[in-house]
Amino acid sequence: MILQILVLMISTHFGMSYSYFADWSVLARDRTPSCVNIPKNLSLCHKIGYTRMRLPNLLEHDTMQEVSHQAKSWLPLLSIHCHPDTKLFLCSLFAPVCLERTIYPCRSLCLAVKRGCEKTMKSYGFPWPSMLDCQKFPLDNDMCIAAMNGNGSANGKENHSELHKQEYKEIVRDIVVDEEKETKDPFMESIPCSSQTCNQEASFNNIINNFCKADFVMKIKFKKVKHRLLTGRKVKNVYKTWRGTPGELRKLRKPKLKLRPEDSCCSVWVKARRKRQNYLLMGSKVGEELVPSLILPWTKDRVLKRARRAFKQIDCSSYSKSNPNNAYESKS
């Protein structure tokens, strides 16, 4: 669907608009912008309805490499379908349309997306970022990009048509990134997940202490990640299991893991990393559910190699007695 930019143009306010943006230090630029093609690896803005954008963009990104890298951080927000204009709003900042005059998103567009997405973001442990403070954007009586879908439903709940859901599914499915070259996620660094489960110290003592407390330990890749449900691909390396029946242990082949409510931000933390990332995962069996207690990106460093060797030999009863003040307990 070709995206139509709804612009409110009232000539009597043009002068006010120019002075407004002249004082807007966060987005103001001395450098003359240029027009460039929107690259295929800018997955956030696939099929946005135009092919060329201004650079620097409205978030002060000077190069396409920086734009693409920073934009990846926001793909999870599209995938949760919190508001049908999320893509329109984000792309107006990351990939502003290339016109003679800069077109900013209207404040009403920002507020509509914020109303639709802020509650969901908070449930994952992330506040609405200050860089998207809606008070920074112009009122609708200026020249700006307006919302295409109004302000959502009257009761404030999500108001997504099947067309928008399908469009966003296509965008997420068609993500074009070089997964092997991805680096640490800038959005996750600026707003870290506070959950201890996916924010563990990668020290030998901490890994072994978690190993001894866990009911199961494995190397895993995730196939599907939802709010509190992590679905693993077929597991080939299991380092520890509880004493269960064959039927119970079969759950570890393609495990479905349930995060505790306080660990829900771990799902976004996982989504922000490359899809083929391996993890060291430990957890407990709570009733019929498998509950993670440690999710650590798999690396080839010496500490993790040493810990893996220790998995085969460690006597957890003697280890707990000889290490009463280990890393994990000191953090608790």
Average pLDDT over residues 6-28: 33
Pick the CATH number of 204-311 from 3.40.50.300, 1.10.3720.10, 3.50.50.60, 2.40.50.120: 2.40.50.120
Helix/strand/coil for 280:
strand
Share of the chain above pLDDT 90, in %: 31
Please give the residue that has the higher pLDDT: either 240 or 152.
Answer: 240
CA dist 298 and 310 (Å) reads 16
Fold of 31-145: Frizzled cysteine-rich domain (1.10.2000)
Please give the residue that has the higher pLDDT: either 15 or 36.
Answer: 36
- Burial of residue 239 (CB within 10 Å: 0-12, 13-18, 19+) is middle
Average pLDDT over residues 111-123: 90
Averaged confidence pLDDT in the chain? 75
pLDDT value at residue 324 = 46
Tokens at 171, concatenated: 């965008």
Whether the predicted pLDDT of 160 surpasses 90: no
> Strands 229-232 and 52-55: what pairing?
unpaired
pLDDT value at residue 142 = 61
Are 161 and 30 a contacting pair, CB within 8 Å?
no
> Strands 104-105 and 144-145: what pairing?
parallel
CA dist 324 and 271 (Å) reads 35
Average pLDDT over residues 124-146: 84
CA 32 to chain centre: 32
Nearest of 215, 304, 221 to residue 255 by alpha carbon: 221
At residue 55, φ and ψ (nearest 5 deg) are -140, 130
Give the ranges where the chain is alpha helix by DSSP (H). Answer: 14-22, 64-71, 75-79, 86-94, 107-123, 162-173, 186-190, 204-213, 246-249, 265-271, 302-311, 316-322, 327-331
257 forms beta bridges with 230, 290
Pinpoint the residues of the chain covered by CATH 1.10.2000.10.
Answer: 31-145
Give the model's confidence band at 298: pLDDT under 50 very low, under 70 low, under 90 confident, else very high.
very high
pTM for this predicted structure: 0.44
Nearest of 225, 80, 47 to residue 160 by alpha carbon: 80
Give the model's confidence band at 141: pLDDT under 50 very low, under 70 low, under 90 confident, else very high.
low
CA dist 281 and 58 (Å) reads 40
Average pLDDT over residues 78-96: 91
Q: Which of 33-37, 63-67, 215-219, 300-304 has the highest mean pLDDT?
A: 215-219
Give the model's confidence band at 44: pLDDT under 50 very low, under 70 low, under 90 confident, else very high.
very high
pLDDT value at residue 25 = 34
pLDDT tens digits for range 237-256: 899 988 877 878 888 889 99
CA 126, 129, 132, 135 torsion-angle sign:
positive
Tokens 């290339």 -> residue: 98
pLDDT value at residue 325 = 45
Whether the predicted pLDDT of 210 surpasses 90: yes
Pinpoint the residues of the chain covered by CATH 2.40.50.120.
Answer: 204-311
pLDDT value at residue 320 = 54
